[in-house]
Amino acid sequence: MKSTDIVDAQHLRSDIPAFGPGDELKVHVKVVEGNKERVQVFQGNVIARQGSG
**Predicted confidence (pLDDT) per residue in 3-48, tens digit:** 777 767 777 778 888 999 999 999 999 999 999 999 999 999 999 9
Helices (H), the chain: 3-11
- Measure the CA–CA gap between 41 and 46, rounded to whole angstroms: 15
Which amino acid is it at 16? I
Query: pTM of whole model > 0.75?
Result: no
